[in-house]
Amino acid sequence: MIRIENVSKSFGDKKVLKNVSAEFEQGKTNLIIGQSGSGKTIMMSICTGLVEPDEGEVFFNDRRFSNLPERKRRDIRKEMGVLFQGGALFDSMNVEENVMFPLNMFTKMSYKDKLDRVDFCLKRVNLENSNKLKTKELSGGMMKRVAIARAIANNPKYLFCDEPNSGLDPKTSELIDALISEITEEYNITTIINTHDMNSVIKIGQRINFLYRGQLWWKGDKNSILTTENKELQEFVFATELTRRLR
């Protein structure tokens, strides 16, 4: 479980997060949703330690993570897997080297064991026999899948996904959503997904946190979000013509 307590963050005069507290449950897909500029990305960056909060704390299973020197965070970091918006694959490496990278850095496994683990992870994301492909040869969906394979290679306890569906067609988006959801349940991972894709919200939103102007405005799940009386959330959920008509 990941817990954030009273987290605030400002950039100059602009307050991006205002006293946000939330809990992200283990074995569930925890979504952070909200409009662009609502503070989703900063909240995730604070959780992953890329940005320090001005106030408040972040805990990973009751282990404090925020405002600690980097060497003291290393043990928790080894338990994290992150899927970045663009995949963030290392373009000097091929698919196999990308997925093997965390194993090379943090384990003493033999090359054969590492290769077996890479093959397993690639098979898990339906990319078997893609080991030697260069990153420039991959489509957007394949990049995301390789990034997922890299994220799970080291058996993470916490998985962070920053807009996993951005730039993907609806079918591939569904595939990525399903994959993240399956992996979360299969390995009992605490997964946090940052998204504004309503399809993902309805499909995999087991726990949903709605951010509005830097504040945690609403909490719920994929069922309660459709019947909410919260005006700001309604505006967000039914913002498109399609969702309005379906409503």
What does the binding site for other proteins look like in residue numbers (CB under 8 A)?
48-50, 70, 73-74, 77-78, 80, 82, 84-86, 88-92, 102, 104-106, 160
- Is 5 or 79 the residue whose CB approaches other proteins more closely? 79
Q: Residue 187's beta-bridge partner residues? A: none
- Non-local CB neighbours of 15 within 8 Å, separated by 6+ positions: 8, 9, 214
CB nearer to other proteins: give 51 or 225.
51
> Who's near 225: CB < 8 A, 6+ residues apart?
201, 202, 205, 208, 210, 233, 237
Burial class of residue 36 in the structure, from the number of CB atoms within 10 Å of its CB (0-12 exposed, 13-18 middle, 19+ buried) = exposed
Of 36 and 129, which CB lies nearer to other proteins in the complex structure?
A: 36
User: Which residue spans within 12-127 are E strands per DSSP?
Assistant: 14-24, 29-33, 55-60, 63-64, 80-83
Check if the beta carbon of residue 114 is closer than 8 Å to that of residue 154: no
69 by DSSP, 3-state: which?
coil
Q: How far is the CB of 65 from other proteins (least distance, A)?
A: 12
Q: How far is the CB of 110 from other proteins (least distance, A)?
A: 13
Q: Which is nearer to other proteins, 44 or 183 (CB)?
A: 44
- Rounded least distance, CB 155 to other proteins, Å: 13
Residue number with CB closer to other proteins (105 or 246): 105
Q: CB 16 → other proteins: shortest distance, Å?
A: 16
Residue type, position 55, single letter:
E
Pick the closer one to other proteins by CB: 48 or 216. 48
In the complex, the smallest distance separating the C-beta of residue 133 from other proteins, rounded to whole angstroms, is 18
Contacts of 204 (CB under 8 A, 6+ apart): 29, 31, 177, 178, 180, 181, 193, 222
